Amino acid sequence: MIKSNTKDFLLYLIVGAIATVTEWVLFFLLNKTALHYTLVTVIAYVLSTFVNWLAGRILVFKANRQTVLKEISEIYIASIVGLLLNLVIMWILVGMFTFEKMFSKIAATAMVFIFNFLVRKLFIYKPKTQN
């Protein structure tokens, strides 16, 4: 079980890296527009969540799948909490401490990463119990 969890976590690091690069590139590019950084954060987060779901489904969470609609719905529900955490962290770092936006985005991503993995592992793709 520990070996399987370690393998899943390491694979999720790859998934996270793919989604993170997607999110950061989108954030960086959209941040150069006239859009407010909170809207840019939301857009980048929503699109990278889809990338995260797809890569996670392919690489990590192959067993115990549900219907695609139910699965992606649960991913986005969990991601709403992650997004709220992300926005609060961005607001604290940028709004209160006046840290640079991209640095703050990197810090927020790192903090929300573990939350995302645990929600997927323990709730969305939890092992089915046998009767």
pLDDT tens column, 87-130: 899 999 999 999 998 899 888 888 888 888 888 888 888 766 55
Separation between Cα atoms, residue 80 and residue 64, nearest integer Å: 22
* Residue 6 predicted with pLDDT over 80: yes
**Confidence at 18, pLDDT banded by 50, 70, 90:** very high
pLDDT for the residue numbered 64: 60
Determine the average pLDDT of the residues in 4-25.
87
Q: Is the pTM of this model over 0.85?
A: no
* Residue 65 predicted with pLDDT over 70: no
- Quote the percentage of the chain above a pLDDT of 90: 31
Q: How far is CA 48 from each of CA 3, 58, 61, rounded to the nearest angstrom? A: 28, 15, 17
pLDDT for the residue numbered 131: 47
pLDDT tens column, 28-50: 999 899 899 889 988 998 899 99
Determine the average pLDDT of the residues in 67-83.
87
